[in-house]
Amino acid sequence: DTAVSQTPKYLVTQMGNDKSIKCEQNLGHDTMYWYKQDSKKFLKIMFSYNNKELIINETVPNRFSPKSPDKAHLNLHINSLELGDSAVYFCASSQGTGASGNTIYFGEGSWLTVV
């Protein structure tokens, strides 16, 4: 009964491959996010969806494409993986958009290693 679940937890893949990370939340939240945490622990937002609609799209290469089939799911597809894409990717959700001081609930992270 994990609130925000993402799969896979670990992913090792070769440069140039395409991979997807899936995320689901069972909290009934309206907003979902993808964050990237680099090796220095810096956590940066990538995308945010509210009720399946993209509301935040930070400066992220267009090789990264989020897809939200419904408000409980937000998947992340990455094309032509590069070494620099190696990081931990966190899915998260909140009731609001964060501007109103809502708590963000994070998944356990997906460790992506590109070799």
Partner 1 sequence: SQQGEEDPQALSIQEGENATMNCSYKTSINNLQWYRQNSGRGLVHLILIRSNEREKHSGRLRVTLDTSKKSSSLLITASRAADTASYFCATDGGNTPLVFGKGTRLSVIA
Please count the other Cβ atoms lying within 10 Å of the Cβ belonging to residue 63: 13
- Across the strands, what pairs with 112? 11, 87
* DSSP track, 47-98: EEEETTEEEEE-S--TTEEEEEEETTEEEEEE-S--GGG-EEEEEEEESS-S
- The one-character DSSP state at 44 is E
Which residues in 74-93 contact partner 1 (CB under 8 A)?
Answer: 90, 92
CB 20 within 8 A of CB 73: no
Q: What is the nearest approach in angstroms of partner 1 to the Cβ of residue 44?
A: 8
Binding residues for partner 1, rule CB under 8 A, total 25
Would you count residue 41 as binding partner 1 (CB under 8 A)? yes
Would you count residue 33 as binding partner 1 (CB under 8 A)? yes
| The only residue of 56, 65, 67, 77 in contact with partner 1, by rule CB under 8 A | 56
Would you count residue 100 as binding partner 1 (CB under 8 A)? yes
Would you count residue 4 as binding partner 1 (CB under 8 A)? yes
CB closer to partner 1 out of 44 and 63: 44
